[in-house]
Amino acid sequence: MPKITYIENNGKSYTVDVSNGLSVMEGAVQNNIPGIDADCGGGMACATCHVYVKEEWFDKLPKKKDGEEDMIDMAFEPNKFSRLSCQIEVSDELDGLIVKLPEKQA
């Protein structure tokens, strides 16, 4: 099972196994990792599952879908490595992925 690492804004890090096919957001929520709210439940309608993808991983991820960038406009302090974690589907290729969490989601 792919391992995904989530690093909180305060530096606290969590590495968990996430099944293929789940989203990076679901991986966080199911493992009770704080810092990802996911208010809309994965509908790309709220920008509260915003993460900063570790630089070296950013280009390895499947590209953003229509509408994701629009929603990132509303995220808390977005930067060029911003993604919505509900839109990143976990697969073997993403084993070892590292995402950093913003200071807060809203």
Partner 1 sequence: MMINTDVLVIGAGPTGLFSVHQLGIIGLKCEVVDNLDKIGGQCIELYPDKPIYDIPAIPECTGEELTKNLIEQIKPFKTKFHLSDRVEKINYEENKWLIKTNKLKEFRASSIIIAGGVGSFEPRKFTIKECEKFEGKEIFYSVKDKTIFKNKTVSIFGGGDSALDWAIELSANSKVQLIHRRDEFRGAQASVDKVKKLSTEGKIELLTQYQLSAIAGDNKLQSISIKHDSETIKKIETNYVLGFFGLVMQLGPIATWGLNLDKKTIPVNTENFETNQKGIFAIGDICAYPGKLKLILSGFHEGALAARGCFKYARPKEKLKFEFTTTSKNVQSRLGVKKND
Q: Which chain residues interact with partner 1 by CB under 8 A? A: 37, 39-41, 43, 45-48, 69-70, 73-74, 76-78, 80, 106
Three-state SS for the chain is CCEEEEECCCCCEEEEECCCCCEHHHHHHHCCCCCCCCCCCCCCCCCCCEEEECHHHHCCCCCCCCCHHHHHCCCCCCCCCEEEHHHCECCHHHCCCEEECCCCCC
Closest contact distance (angstroms) between CB of 47 and partner 1 is 8
Nearest to partner 1 of 55, 70 (CB atom): 70
The nearest distance, CB 32 to partner 1, in angstroms, is 9
Closest CB to partner 1 among 37 and 95?
37
